[in-house]
Every structure is written in C-alpha cells, then in structure tokens.
Structure 1
Amino acid sequence: MSEPLPESFDPALPQDEVELAVEGALRPASLAEFVGQHKVRGQLQLLLDAARIQQRPADHILLSGPPGLGKTTLAMIVAHESERPLRLSSGPAIQHAGDLAALLSSLVPGEVLFIDEIHRMARSAEEMLYLAMEDFRIDIMVGKGAGATSIPLDLAPFTLVGATTRSGMLPNPLRDRFGFTAHLEYYDPSELEEVIARSAVVLGIGLPPVARAEIARRSRGTPRIANRLLRRVRDYVIVHGGAGPGRGGQATESDVHAALDLYDVDAIGLDRLDRAVLDAVVRRFRGGPVGLNTLAVTVGEESETIESVVEPYLVRIGFLGRTPRGRIATAEAYAHLRVPEPGGALRIDDL
C-alpha cells in the first residue's frame, strides 16, 4: 500500500511540484500494488520473472484497451520490476524514420522504451521498427537516388512496450513482433472502490465505504476517471470543509453528491457531452438513426471526439446502438432521460 502524503508536506512548495508528487504517488509501483486486470498481471509477472532468471531483457509487450485503464502505469511497472531505465515517447511524436532512429540509437542496454498511441506512428517509422524489434538493428539510408547506400546500425537490446487504444489499426507485421499482447478490460465497481481507497490514502482524504461506492458508480469502469472525480471531491472538501493545506480532510456521501453534481457527472457517470449527444438523438432526431457527422454538428463537437470518447460508453451501457444507417437510441436511453419512448424503441436485448 502506498504511503499517504505526510502531514508535514510543505505547503510552501510550488503547486506544480506538489501535483507531480501526488501524481507519482497515485501510480502503483509494482504489480502487487496494481488493482484489477488479474489475468494480465499474472501473465506479465511470469514474463518478467522469466527474463530476470535468464538475465535478458523482457520480450516486447503490446498493451491495448480503452484510455485510462493503466497502460502507462503498467509500462512503468515493467521498467521498475525489471530494474531497467524507462524512456517515454508517443506515436504522434514519431513522424519520420529519422525520429525513431535517433530514439533507438540513444537507448542503453536493457532499457524499456514505452511508445504510447503506437498506432499513430508514421508508416516509414513502423517499417524501421520491424527490424529493430526483431534483430536490434536498423538500416540508415545515406544519400538519394542511385547513389544511396544503406548503413546498418546495431542497437542495444531493449524492451518495447507499446500502448494503443486501437489495436486494429496496427499493421500485422508490427503486431506479430510483440512477444506478449494484452487487452485491458474495464473495471468492476468493487475494483474501482479499491483504487479509490488507495488513492484517498495518498491524497489524505477520509472516505466512508458508501462515499467510495458512489464515486465508483460514476467512474465509467475507468481508474483514471475515478481518480479525477476523487480529486474534485477533495477540492470540494478543502473549500467547504476547511481542510489544511496539502490535506484532503474528511468527505461524506453528501460531499460526494454535491461535488459531482457541481461538475455535471450524473449517477451513472454521464457528463454534459454524453447527455447532449443522448438528448440530440432522442429529442432532436426522434431516436435516430442519425449519422455521426450530423450528430457532431448538432452538439458542436468534433466527430472524432464523439466516436472515440462519448460513443463507447453509451454503447457499452446500452443507451446507443450503431447501425449501417446511423446511431439509434434504445429504450434504456429514453428511460434515463425520462422521455416517453416511441413504440419502436429498441431494447438492449434487441441489439
């Protein structure tokens, strides 16, 4: 269990340093501390133990799943438990083969390289990565045209940990070069309560079980959201409860309700944008079907945001359905908005 921030935590420290310290403390440092994802944890533990016994870098690891489930934290744990340094990068930052070559050539033996959103790398960089992952070597092209030559460059052995929210966008040659692939699942409410209890200790805020359960219910199965909501509850208690600097105080169930209602997070975790999308489909388009672009214009948001941030949760809880003709609202969506449903409204079991 992580230690809470000490009572003597210096309030005179710059706020950004305080937040960095808190953020670091909220992340579990080992697989034993990591809550949830039991199968993935067991598989990772075996992979790391085997590499340690054989005194070699661990096989390359691909972590896929929705945002906020712990992919970055697991990459940090891989480096920590392997007792290896960690290098952080992201797919959007690697837009040329030269960017990747510079990154790979600077790695030290055994280093763990984490590339977030790896599916967004440039295609030329992906092709260079094939050889680097398999043979720990890259080919540098010097010159252009008929006079161009390829110079091989040996790399230090390393472990690549890739994270993606869209594993289907990875080319098969890249996916096949990972020695271990794991898909992270959404958390159960009981697991989220464990996450919240641990984070509350770190933040120095007291939470009775009923308050933890309320935050868990509104966290959409995602630890990142649970921690974000807990921070807002802490802020509410600090402002309205007179807690000291650097401490969270004691929160009650009514504090949780008041704080999350203030931030427009309803009883099942829907926020303002979720409800705007749902309301548009139900009231403006009479349950649908409605196209994604039309829906995005109606609520004043980018279609990519609707598709990647809003829709997955609404579909998962059975409020929206995707059809070839567009998005449709289910009977459960009508019930949540307290709007009389038309006779043809679909139920979850019909989808």
Structure 2
Amino acid sequence: MSEEQNLVVEPVSGKHGLGEFVDIGRAFAAREPHNVPQLRSEQIELVDPGKNPFFGHARAQLFVARRGGKPVGRISAHIDELALKMPAEQGFGPGAGMFGYFDAEDEATAHALLGAAEGWLRKEGMSRVLGPISMSIWEEPGLLVRGQDHAPMIMMGHHPAHYRGWIESYGYAAAKSLLTYDLDVSKEFPPLIQRIVKSGERNERIKIRPVDKSRWDEEVAVVLDILNDAWSKNWGFVPFTPAEVAYAGKKLRPIIFEPLNMVAELDGEPVAFMLTFPDINRVLARIKGKLFPFGWFHLLRWLRFPKGAGMRVPLMGVKKELHNSRVASQLAFMMISQIRKNAAGIYGSKRGEIGWILDDNQGMVAIADAIDSKINREYIVFEKRLG
C-alpha cells in the first residue's frame, strides 16, 4: 500500500479529540526555529465549543490526518454565521467558509486535509473558502509568509515557509495580506510627528487618557463600541458579540497596563483607542509554555511588572465619522506617542510591533511609515471557490 493510500483523515470528537488536536499542533510548532510554546490549556479553550464564545455564532469540524496510525497533520473547517451576513466585498459574506489550524507533514497530507475541510464546507452549503483563519478573524488570521527568522509576538501565528506552496498548489490564491511593523520605541518620533502631537496637546477639544482599570467593564465596553464602529467597513470585519466582549475583557485584563493603553476623547466623547500588550511570549519561551512546576511563578512575577518587554499594538480604532480627517491621524499619533514614551520610560522597552494592518489600509500604512517603522512580518489569507 502506498503512503498516499495509507493516509487517513478523520474527524475529531470529544474531549480527548480536542486535546490530541492541540497536541498535534504543538508538536509541529516545536519543530520550528523561533517558535514560542503557548499554554496548552489556553489553546484547548479556543477550540472548545463549551468555552469559546465564538461558537455562539459559529460551528466547526476538526480533522486529524494519520499515516500508519501516526498523526501527520490537522485542520479545522468552520463557518461563522456573523461572517456570512457581512458584505461579500468585505471578504466574507454569503457562502464563505473557512479553514484554520493547518499543519501537515508533507504536500500529500496538506492536500488531503484541505480536501476534507472543503468537503465538510460543501456539505454545509458553502461556495468558497478562506484561510487559514484560526479560528476567529480576531484570533490568528493568515499564514506567515515573511518573517520566519524571528519569534512572533503575543497572539501572532508562526508557520513554516513551505506551507504557502502546498496551499497554493491545491488551487488557492492570495485574498489579502496582513502586515506587522517593527518599531524602535527607544527613539523619539521624527520632528514632523512631534509637531503634530504638540499641536494636538494644545487643542482643548482633545484629551488623551489612559484606560482606567478601576472601572474595567465600562472601559471594555467603550473600546469595543469604538472598535465595532471603526472597523465596520474593513476587509474581514466581523462584529464582537456581548459574550465575546465579556470573554475578551476577562482574558485581557491581566495584560492591560494603564500607561500602555489609551482612549482619545473629542469634546468629552470617546472617539478613538489604542491597545498595547507587553509581549508575554518572552516569558512563555522561558517556561516552555508550561505552568508547572515553576512556570506559574515566573509568569505571575512578569505580570506584576513586565520590565524590558517588547510591546505590541494589536488594535486601534477611530470612529467612522472621523475617518479620512486630519484629526483622526492626529489622535493616532498622540496616542502612540504617549504609549511609546511610557513603554520606554516606565518599562524600559526597546522594541514595539504594530499590527496586523491590512496592506491596503492606506491610513494605517501611512501612520506606520511616518513613525519610521518597518515591515517585519507578512501574513496571507488565501481564498478558493468551491466547485
């Protein structure tokens, strides 16, 4: 029997199946230079319909590939009901399913897994597929195609370069590129940006303030309200539900440090925000993704004060009514300037990362260029029509 004939792709079910699905991904990740092991319990929670509120509006089927009884790959096929309701010109829309959590030993395995995911999506009535998106667009979208030579920051995927060829050889084409930008936060911004910031500081209508964790639930609601408004016309946008807002608030609270997270107010109304997370991957690499026996101690100590940590800006938004206005970019520069100063001055940070940013988001690309940041990673979301 040939290796291809000996290859079997099976659907995953039950608690044991979820654990095996995660462990297969962890084994593949461990092979990659610069990979950072994540907490296994957190990874299982993301694919558990009983724990991740994403499944309140989505359904999924996980698959594992075996050759001679040995696991040689995995993939998810999933459908987000909220994504189906979005306009097709924004990426998703009617008939758009997804695949994610893609790992494969070789090209034959990759094609078998993609075929299994596509078959499930066809049976569910889907007419096209986008991926990899693991599993929500807000979690780890895209395949890393540039930047394998350095470790990923918090909440960013890391994939071997050869996956791209295997996906493309099965009929997929790039639908969208997502970029991250590297920034030296120990340096002042260029003089032009400093002048724009100082001009804003003299404007009595504008107030830049840190997030207030003493009224956390209220602040989370403010940020998510701005996000859902600001991103509503962006490619790939899917709105956060109240359950996801509560879940995200609980998960993110330990890594929110007030001097690193800003809300911008105009005439007393919150109109923009910028979130910054210290790079927990630094400590996860040290403890090898394990809390026991002593990993928890190092993690808790780091969470009290992440001295010297790299900083990632994963999300920012300005309300739609201000888009394409001078004040929108001014607010962005003011927030990131304050965060840069605090990251360097309080926490001793030297490196920051902004993203991901859609490659055709001209406003954000212009801001990234203006502060002398450079592209350091690129992710691609692929697309294919299902015949």
Which has a greater percent of helix? 1
TM-score range relative to shorter protein: under 0.3
Higher relative contact order (CA 8 A, sep 6+): 2
Question: What TM-score, normalized by structure 1, do the two folds share?
Answer: 0.28
Larger Rg: 1
Q: TM-score scaled by structure 2?
A: 0.26
